[in-house]
Amino acid sequence: MKHIILCVSLITLFFIGACKKNQLGGSSEISGTVAHHGKPIPNAVVYIKFNATEFPGDDVSLYNAQVNADANGAYSFKCYKGSYYFYAVGFDSSLPATVSGGLSLKPRTNEKIKADLAVTE
């Protein structure tokens, strides 16, 4: 009887651990460009809040992870299925001004999403 309970417990733990959600590193991919009025914002930072569908605020310490856009404003990262809020902050040298904006996404397993982040003053 102890062996059956142990086997059931191990199988349960395996399945619980196999269902990852709301974290980076999965088989889904989100990519896009951070842009202000269509102009790419180089080196913007994209903050990622796990398990969120609404704007958590502009306090970046509330976010779980971040990725940096490249010199062309492009960003990309892999994640597991779940709910995420993305908040981008960058600098538009043509104004000059800090710009920011965000959006919510719910990627599914193995889904590739192109999501451009529009930012404003």
Q: What's the angle, vertex CA 82, arms to CA 79 and CA 85, rounded to 5?
A: 85
Structural contact between residues 103 and 54, judged by C-beta atoms closer than 8 angstroms: no
Predicted model pTM:
0.81
The amino acid that residue 84 corresponds to is Y
Domain ranges of the chain: 21-118
Please give the CATH number for the structural domain made up of 21-118. 2.60.40.1120
55, 50, 36, 120: CA torsion to nearest 10: 20
Residue 85: in which H helix or E strand, if any? strand 84-92
Cα–Cα dist 65/11, whole Å: 31
pLDDT at site 45: 98
CA distance readout (Å), 10 to 1, 13, 76: 14, 5, 36
Cα–Cα dist 70/76, whole Å: 10
Residue (of 24, 28, 29, 25) closest to 47 by Cα position? 24
pLDDT above 50: residue 11: no
pLDDT digits (tens, 9 = 90+) for 49-82: 999 999 999 999 999 999 999 999 999 999 999 9
